[in-house]
Amino acid sequence: MLGKLIKYDMKSISRTLIPLWILAPVISLLFSISIRGLVGTAEYAVQNTLENQALIQGSAIITGITTLVFFGVMIAILVMTVLFIIQRFWNGLLKEEGYLMFTLPVETWELVVSKGICATVVSCVSILVGVVSCVVMFMGAISGFDELWNGIGQLIGYAVKADGVMIWSCNVVLFVLLMIVGTAESVYRVYAAMALGQLFEGHRVVGACVSYIGIGIAWSLISGIFTIIVSLALPDTAYYLTEDFGVFGLLYMLVLLLITLFQIVIWHLMTVHILSRHLNLE
């Protein structure tokens, strides 16, 4: 049943986000080409000691427009992704559509997990699209892009040499995992806040916003206290930093991963508990 739920939640993305995901890299490619063009035009003008300002101005205007469009699309992706995550949960479970979803023969946790997985996938794809678009853009904007690539390659080489392939690739895998789990945590935190918010009869939206802030504060208090305790218990963290960077990074990310997973579990249990015991449909 979970699979079927995910299928329906995924279906609802197609209308809004997929066109933007395709549009973004294309726009950034145009942007990158137009910058190349601008640089090229300027160089051509200088070399030939031309005083043709119109040529430079023209390509500057094109570059300006593509810059605007590029940032516009990036912001649109960001806004649409956030809106999508909030809307699919709020409208999909806590408003009229809730009458449909909560009377399906499925468990409440399945409804929540389905929304969670879908939102996490959407966020990760949006982030990926953003990164790819930026890389494409920089390829045009920075003339020494090949040197940058080489630099990154060298850096990786040093890291691999220092720590060994094993640890280095573990680091990379963990980092990617951490990004995904971190995204899921942000999604789930918003869900928990909305589940709390719907309890406030008549002030559901305000309730959700206040809950979100409240959850954030509560968590930073708890994690702050936890950090103090840990750093008191383990005074030698600096030792790991200097001694073995790769292993330290690995441990650090592992702990962070566990903490984030723990957070997800808490937000999940909270959301499911509220929705199965105290559902308050309009």
Partner 1 sequence: MGEVLIQCQDVWKYYGRKEALRGLDFQLSGGRIVGLLGPNGSGKTTLMKVLNGLLRPEKGVVLIDGEEPGIYTKSVVSYLPDKTYFADWMKVSDLFDLFQDFYEDFDREKAEQMCETLQIQTNQKMKILSKGTREKVQLILVMSRSAKLYLLDEPIAGVDPAARDYILATILNNYNPEGTVLISTHLIADVERVLDEVLFIQDGKVIRQEMVDDIREQEGKSVDELFREIFRTVPYGGGTANVR
Stretch 54-93: interaction string toward partner 1, x if CB under 8 A: -------------------------------------xx-
> CB-based burial of residue 138 (10 Å sphere; 0-12 exposed, 13-18 middle, 19+ buried)?
middle
Rg (CA), the chain: 24
Quick one: residue 202, left, alpha or beta (phi over 0 = left, psi -120 to 50 = alpha)? left
**Chosen residue from 8, 71, 158, 226 binding partner 1 by CB under 8 A:** 8
Stretch 171-210: interaction string toward partner 1, x if CB under 8 A: ------------------------------x---------
Structure-token pair, residue 51: 């005083």
Residues 32 and 137: beta-carbon distance below 8 Å: yes
Stretch 13-52: interaction string toward partner 1, x if CB under 8 A: --x-------------------------------------
The dihedral built from the CA positions of residue 171, 176, 179 and 183, taken in this order, carries a sign that is: negative
Structure-token pair, residue 193: 């806040």
Could you tell me the smallest distance in angstroms from the CB atom of residue 64 to partner 1?
Answer: 36
**Chosen residue from 61, 100, 155, 269 binding partner 1 by CB under 8 A:** 100
DSSP helix/strand/coil, 232: helix
Number of residues in contact with partner 1, rule: CB under 8 A? 25
Q: Using CA atoms, how far apart are residues 66 and 17, in angstroms rounded to an integer?
A: 21
Q: Using CA atoms, how far apart are residues 253 and 138, in angstroms rounded to an integer?
A: 29
Residues 253-282 that bind partner 1 (CB under 8 A): 276-277, 279, 281
Quick check: 109 binds partner 1 (CB under 8 A)? no
Residues within the interface to partner 1 (CB under 8 A): 1, 4, 7-8, 11-12, 15, 91-92, 96-100, 102-107, 201, 276-277, 279, 281
